[in-house]
Amino acid sequence: MSPIHSSQRGILEPAPGFRSGLRDLPKHLNAETVSAGLIAAVFGCTGPPLIIMNSAMNAGYTTLQTISWLASACFFGGVLSLILALRYRQPIAGAWSIPIAVMLGNTLAFFNIHQAVGAYLLAGVMVLALGFSGLVGKIMRWLPIPIVMGMIAGAMIKFGTGMIASVEKLPAVCGAALAGYLLITRFARRFPPVLGALISGLAAAFLAGGIDLSGADYSLILPTVFAPAFSLDAFLSISIPVAILVIGAENAQATGVLLTEGFRPPVNFMTVISGFGGIATSFFGGHNANIAGPMTAICASEAAGRKTEGRYAAAVVNGILFGGFGLVASVAVAFIQSVPRPLVGMVAGLAMIGVLTQAFEQAFASGRFKAGAFFALVIAMSGISIAKISAPFWALVGGVVVSYMVEHRDFARPAEEEDSPVVKEMVQDPAV
């Protein structure tokens, strides 16, 4: 049996090892794997950072705090890519969670940076403990994916409506960005459409005189270490939703992609290393470094080569480029802060289209937990805050309660009828 499809033994899945991955890496570095890794990195370094910056601005973060958040999440995300790809010889990419960054845009306003760091740290510890315990599958059963996705869709919908508001505020510039996105999507499918939107929007902004780069500071600034502070409110508002989204959104999405492409993903190890990633980034103000669903999909696809055994090289290329972007994040932040705010909102919204549509699909397409997913959606959309605990937490609670009351049969369905391949994979470990 090949290393890609090796059987699981114990809590942490066995692996071919780093020596094997490094030894065979040169022969798998070719035009296909390098281009797929480059495309994945370009995706991760264009639209998604705008989401972090948008959330940081909403939270009132300083430039140094914003740089530290973005730099740590990208750098440690790149490190995770290298570890997973080389150890397991699978195209598993690391980054950070877009839905979590979106959620934090409203939540962080209630807490200072030290409380946020403490909450991120606890979230990382929770994910780490779940990975070592092997209880991921049981958590997935107790908190169904449709409800989680309903909450994500509700938290992210403002990015869709924000695009329309951006066009109203800056019609020519944001219209050019939208046109670039649509044209690239229609005529150049291999070119990242979000990058096309950013380039066309920036060109229009320069022509309109809407960008002033003279006052920007492009010096390299290292991430800042922040001391954690702990509060129950931050734990409920940040730690629990972050831990759930790492496992239920990012890891589950990457697991599904890998299964579809014929790989046997190391689910428990992916969870454990996402826990370590959350702990590492927390001290620098980063919300989490975890498995990246969209970037894993690019690296694992046929675009990275017809032979699956060499596709892990694409994740290695992506990890180097994405981690390197984290090291120069201060330059990116300085530039983006010179860009008109409506253009940032427009490109960030375009970057969210795939994630948002997938969230709606996974929330309602299965026909299960529809009432719970709906209430999770509208509670998250409402933006309510009760006792300093923000809407995403109440969306999860409300969705589960509603489903238990009116859709209890969905919880009771036999596993073979209920579970997706992703959940089935997650519960196939000896501790569950």
Q: Is the separation of the CB atoms in 101 and 287 below 8 Å?
A: yes
Q: What is the pLDDT of residue 118?
A: 97
Task: Write down the residue that tokens 């699978």 correspond to.
Answer: 90
Query: At residue 306, does pLDDT exceed 70?
Result: yes
Q: How far is CA 314 from CA 40, 82, 116, 197, 221, in A?
A: 9, 10, 33, 25, 29
Distances (CA, A) of 168 to 162, 198, 217: 10, 18, 30
- For helices 47-59 and 63-88, what crossing angle results, to 10°? 140
Cα–Cα distance measured from residue 337 to residue 272, given in angstroms and rounded to the nearest whole number: 35
Report if residue 282 sits inside a domain.
yes
Instruction: Flag the least confident range among 83-97, 219-233, 354-368, 417-431.
Output: 417-431
Rounded mean pLDDT of 271-282? 94
| Measured distance CA(275)–CA(171) in Å, rounded | 43
Please classify residue 160 by burial: count the beta carbons closer than 10 Å to its beta carbon, then call 0-12 exposed, 13-18 middle and 19+ buried: middle
Query: For the residues 79-86, what does the mean pLDDT come to?
Result: 95
Q: Using 50, 70 and 90 to split pLDDT, how confident is the model at 418?
A: very low
- Reported as a single tens digit per residue, the pLDDT across 314-366 is 999 999 999 999 999 888 888 877 778 888 788 878 877 877 887 888 889 88
The per-residue pLDDT for 420 is 54
The better pLDDT of the pair 151, 425 is held by 151
Task: Tell me what pLDDT residue 5 has.
Answer: 40
* Residue span of the structural domain in which 396 resides: 16-426
pLDDT at res. 421? 53
Quick one: which of 238, 173, 228, 229 has its CA closest to 199? Answer: 173
Model confidence at 140: pLDDT above 70: no
Per-residue pLDDT at 59 exceeds 60 = yes
Residue 281 has pLDDT above 50, yes or no: yes
Distance in angstroms (rounded) separating the CA atoms of residues 132 and 423: 17
For the ranges 7-16, 117-126, 225-234, 409-418, the lowest mean pLDDT is seen at 409-418
Mean pLDDT of the 180-209 span: 86
Residue pair 395/106 in contact (Cβ under 8 Å)? The answer is no
**Mean pLDDT, to the nearest integer, of 192-215?**
82
Percent over 70 (pLDDT), the chain:
89
Q: State the pLDDT at residue 90.
A: 93
Q: What is the chain's mean pLDDT, rounded?
A: 83
Residue 148 pLDDT > 70, yes or no? yes
In terms of average pLDDT, the best of 52-61, 243-252, 408-417 is 52-61
How many domains, the chain?
A: 1
267 with 424: CB under 8 angstroms?
no
Q: Is the residue at 8 inside a domain?
A: no
> Does the pLDDT value for residue 150 go beyond 80?
yes
Instruction: Flag whether pLDDT at 3 surpasses 60.
Output: no
Chain segment 26-43, per-residue pLDDT in tens = 999 988 888 888 878 877
Instruction: Label residue 10 by pLDDT band (50, 70, 90).
Output: low
pTM of the predicted protein model:
0.75
Q: Please, which pLDDT band fits residue 372 given cuts at 50, 70 and 90? A: very high
With respect to residue 10, please indicate whether it lies within any of the assigned structural domains: no
Q: What is the mean pLDDT of residues 200-213?
A: 84
Residue 432 lies in a domain: no
> Which pLDDT score is estimated for 138?
67
Residue 1 is predicted with a pLDDT of 34
* Contact yes or no for 150/311 (Cβ under 8 A): no
Q: Is residue 30 part of a domain?
A: yes
- For the residues of 249-312, what is the DSSP string, one character each? IIIHHHHHHHHHTT----HHHHHHHHHHHHHHHHTTT----EE-HHHHHHHHSGGG-SSGGGTH
Q: Among 1-5, 12-16, 386-390, 423-427, name the most confident range.
A: 12-16
Please tell me the predicted confidence (pLDDT) of residue 316. Answer: 96
Split at pLDDT 50, 70, 90, the class of 4 is: very low
Q: Does residue 6 lie in a domain region?
A: no
Contacts of 397 (CB under 8 A, 6+ apart): none
Q: Tell me the residue type at 5.
A: H
In the DSSP assignment, the letter for residue 369 is S
Q: Residue 427 above 90 pLDDT?
A: no
Tokens (6 digits) for 151? 């909450």
| Residue 46 domain-assigned (yes or no) | yes
Assess if residue 431 is contained within a domain. Answer: no
CA distances from 432 to 3, 185, 399, 408 (A): 24, 43, 25, 22
- DSSP, res 192: -
d(CA 34, CA 41): 10
